[in-house]
Chains A and B, each alone.
Chain A
Amino acid sequence: MVEGLMEDNEVIGPKWRDRDRAGNKIYRFLKLNDFDELQMDYTRSYLSPKNFFLPFKEDLATFDFQDSDWEQNIQYTIHPRVIVGMRACDINALLKLDEVMVKSAYPNPYYFARRRNTIIIGLDHEPLPDCFCRSMNADAAFHGFDLFLTDIGDKYFIAVNSDTGFMILNRYGAEQVAEADQVLYKQVKKQIESKFKTQLDVTIVPELMDLEFESPVWKKWGDKCLSCGSCAMVCPTCYCYGVEEQVNLTFTRATKRRFLYSCNLLDFASVAGGHNFRPEPHIRLKYRYYHQFRGFVETYNQSLCVGCNRCGVACLAGIHPKAVLDDLNSMEVA
């Protein structure tokens, strides 16, 4: 099926890119040129597939100058493509981004064009030791994809969630689900559930962010923070950005570009005149958590975090969301 789709469409999937210091494979979602590049047994991509919807850099508009006048050009065209092998947590992450980018005030046309023209084929997997998506209620995807594959031995159990997905299945052939397959599927799902090792106590998390707003825990972790923004770059849901404009060497054209940013970076909230609303690393770190676990909940009735722990893996200073939340949950009086 994937090979067939590759004949006529751009297909993106997890590829093996490198090894980390411990020798573990590092995977990344990239365009597939050859079917053999697709690693269906990948563990976790270092970067989340969010960047196919929110690229690190994206041109918002160009301005062509002529004499003292200018003309603005905007291009929203996105060609259809297929992403194979997305995890449930990453699909849930997209659903959260949809809330902001599609369903809220001022829907973003760039994001919408990418979302609307991307076919998503999901893939189940057994959790890694540090996955806590189950605690974040993001371990299963019920919508937000076209097809979702679960390995039940010598075949895939496939959930169909769109007409395009159904069309693809019909084109490449699939057999009807037999009762025995359903039993196998249930067994696999139970087995996946039993493998979660990391749990996060989320009982009172949104409230906790207010209760512990002045907690020394923020300083403890914030003092470690290097303000590098790696956590936001790998996060499947972080969407904040900055805009910059560049002029070409002949002063005939300017490009307005959006680039993904991080609320941990020093100048995130600094304004003209020099005032910085969040000058210290621990204040910025706190706001990252406050937005993920409190601010987003207030607006959309769900946390922004999906529990993939990519930020914990990427953090150069060893700040793990699980450890920070455990500290905040602590019953000891500081």
Chain B
Amino acid sequence: MLKIPHHDINLEPDMARPPDFNRRAARMQTERTYKSRVLAAIQLTEHEKLFHIRILDPLERQNFQFLPGQFVMLELPGCGEVAISISGSSSNREFLELCVRKVGKVTGMLHRLEPGAFIGIRGPFGTHFPMQEMVGSNVLLIAGGLGIVPLRSTIYWVNDHRIDYRDVTIMYGIREPSQILFDYQAEEWCRVYGLRMETIVEHPDESWAGHVGMITDLFEDVPIDPDHTFAVVCGPPVMFKYVCGYLSDLGLPRQRMFVSLERRMHCGMGKCCRCNVGSTFTCLDGPVFDYWSVMNLKEAI
């Protein structure tokens, strides 16, 4: 008679409490999703809604601390789980903000939810924009289309720590005026926090009085000091080549430009391989990469 001893991992201390996804090395319940409630679902444009989401358990809410650029896995039980970048302020510990375009099955269902609905949140996951490294420098925040969503977290960060940064310029390119997101906040960002914001539209309507053209056209009006500037670029990959190419011709080192990549994800934890890019994974070494690294990842952009 020899019975092999049983090691019940459910009894391990870290396994018995809510996971803290910032403790990456800990063995914990990585499948546990934080039960959360939709506080508000705000229609911003035809296809985009902003969701205010509150994690219900106080300990889980306390564990959830993120930095701009990180993402969460949003769970609709019975429907599916999707990776969504965080759009709110990291100093808001009461609820998180996710701006989501209705584009697939899960996001389509999410758009049908009303305030009060219970959903799940796992995270935060991934790398963040290096806000500490940027201290003392000028910051260029360049967004194309939906790229403004993760950048908004960065804008909140800069505003919360405004004295740490020098000139901060937001360049925002969008196809049509009707697609502009967070226009109601732009005045506050500029008048209260002294940010400079330039918005450019590709296809203007009659009421549009601002810039018309592609995002790179804005560079004519924005002076850049390549020795003291960091750039954060979010948008469609095709934009990276033009924007980062221009900045690098100016003399801005590629390691001071940061971009955010998007890929299919099923876990967010470097296990499912779905977000594989070049020799690494978008969920662990990304989504935020410096441009030098991105250029060296096969078929990243």
Residue B241 at the A interface, CB < 8 A? no
* B6/A80 in contact, CB under 8 A: yes
Interface residue count for B (Cβ, 8 Å)? Answer: 56
* A295/B2 in contact, CB under 8 A: no
Output the least CB separation between B215 and chain A (Å).
Answer: 21
Residue B30 at the A interface, CB < 8 A? yes
Chain B residues within an 8 Å CB radius of A168: 2
Residue A192 at the B interface, CB < 8 A? no
Those 8 A-B pairs whose CB atoms lie nearest each other, nearest first: A272-B104, A254-B78, A240-B273, A106-B269, A63-B77, A295-B279, A80-B4, A105-B24
Tell which of B10, B271, B272 has the most Cβ of chain A within 10 Å. Answer: B271
Residue A107 at the B interface, CB < 8 A? yes
* Chain A residue, CB-CB nearest to B12: A109
Chain A residues within an 8 Å CB radius of B10: 75-77
Q: Which of A116, A239, A298 contacts B271 (CB 8 A)?
A: A239
Interface residue count for A (Cβ, 8 Å)? Answer: 69
From 252 to 271 in chain A, residues with beta carbon under 8 angstroms from any chain B beta carbon are 254, 256, 261, 263, 268-271
Output the least CB separation between A81 and chain B (Å).
Answer: 7
Give the CA-CA distance A178 to B272 in the complex, in Å: 48
Output the least CB separation between B91 and chain A (Å).
Answer: 25
Give the CA-CA distance A268 to B120 in the complex, in Å: 24
* B78/A106 in contact, CB under 8 A: no
Chain A residues within an 8 Å CB radius of B24: 105-106
Output the least CB separation between A218 and chain B (Å).
Answer: 12
A-B contact pairs, 12 of them (CB 8 A): A9-B2, A61-B31, A61-B33, A63-B78, A70-B118, A107-B26, A113-B7, A240-B276, A245-B77, A256-B81, A272-B104, A273-B103
Residue B295 at the A interface, CB < 8 A? no
Q: Other than the known A63-B78, A76-B10, A109-B27, what 4 A-B pairs have Cβ atoms closer than 8 Å?
A: A9-B4, A242-B274, A271-B264, A299-B280
* Chain A residue, CB-CB nearest to B78: A254
Q: Could you give, for residues 54-84 of chain B, a 1 whenever the CB lies within 8 Å of some chain A CB and a 0 otherwise?
A: 0000000000000000000000011111100
Chain B residues within an 8 Å CB radius of A104: 270
- CB within 8 Å for A299 and B279 given contacts A106-B30, A107-B27, A242-B272: yes
Q: Could you give, for residues 205-248 of chain A, a 1 whenever the CB lies within 8 Å of some chain B CB and a 0 otherwise?
A: 00000100100000000000000000000000001111111110
* B3/A9 in contact, CB under 8 A: yes
Give the CA-CA distance A295 to B277 in the complex, in Å: 9
* A105/B269 in contact, CB under 8 A: yes
* Chain B residue, CB-CB nearest to A113: B9
* B78/A171 in contact, CB under 8 A: no
Chain A residues within an 8 Å CB radius of B27: 107, 109, 112
Q: Could you give, for residues 187-201 of chain B, a 1 whenever the CB lies within 8 Å of some chain A CB and a 0 otherwise?
A: 000000000000000
From 154 to 176 in chain A, residues with beta carbon under 8 angstroms from any chain B beta carbon are 164, 167-168, 171-172
* A77/B271 in contact, CB under 8 A: no
Q: Which of B4, B21, B262, B274 contacts A240 (CB 8 A)?
A: B274
* A243/B266 in contact, CB under 8 A: yes
- CB within 8 Å for A269 and B298 given contacts A81-B4, A106-B271: no
Give the CA-CA distance A72 to B18 in the complex, in Å: 12
* A109/B5 in contact, CB under 8 A: no
Residue A8 at the B interface, CB < 8 A? yes
* B274/A105 in contact, CB under 8 A: no
Residue B267 at the A interface, CB < 8 A? yes
* B30/A109 in contact, CB under 8 A: yes
Give the CA-CA distance A246 to B79 in the complex, in Å: 8
* B77/A239 in contact, CB under 8 A: no
* B77/A116 in contact, CB under 8 A: no
Residue B263 at the A interface, CB < 8 A? yes
* A109/B29 in contact, CB under 8 A: yes
Chain B residues within an 8 Å CB radius of A81: 4
* B273/A263 in contact, CB under 8 A: yes
- CB within 8 Å for A269 and B3 given contacts A72-B77, A105-B25: no
* A291/B77 in contact, CB under 8 A: no
Chain A residues within an 8 Å CB radius of B26: 107
* Chain B residue, CB-CB nearest to A5: B2
Residue A108 at the B interface, CB < 8 A? yes
Residue B117 at the A interface, CB < 8 A? yes
* B117/A271 in contact, CB under 8 A: no
Chain A residues within an 8 Å CB radius of B279: 290, 294-295, 298-299
Residue B28 at the A interface, CB < 8 A? yes
* Chain A residue, CB-CB nearest to B30: A106
* A213/B103 in contact, CB under 8 A: no
Q: Which of B104, B116, B284 contacts A273 (CB 8 A)?
A: B104
* B118/A74 in contact, CB under 8 A: no
Q: Could you give, for residues 266-301 of chain B, a 1 whenever the CB lies within 8 Å of some chain A CB and a 0 otherwise?
A: 110111111010111000100000000000001100
* Chain B residue, CB-CB nearest to A4: B2
Tell which of B117, B267, B269, B284 has the most Cβ of chain A within 10 Å. Answer: B267
Residue A142 at the B interface, CB < 8 A? no
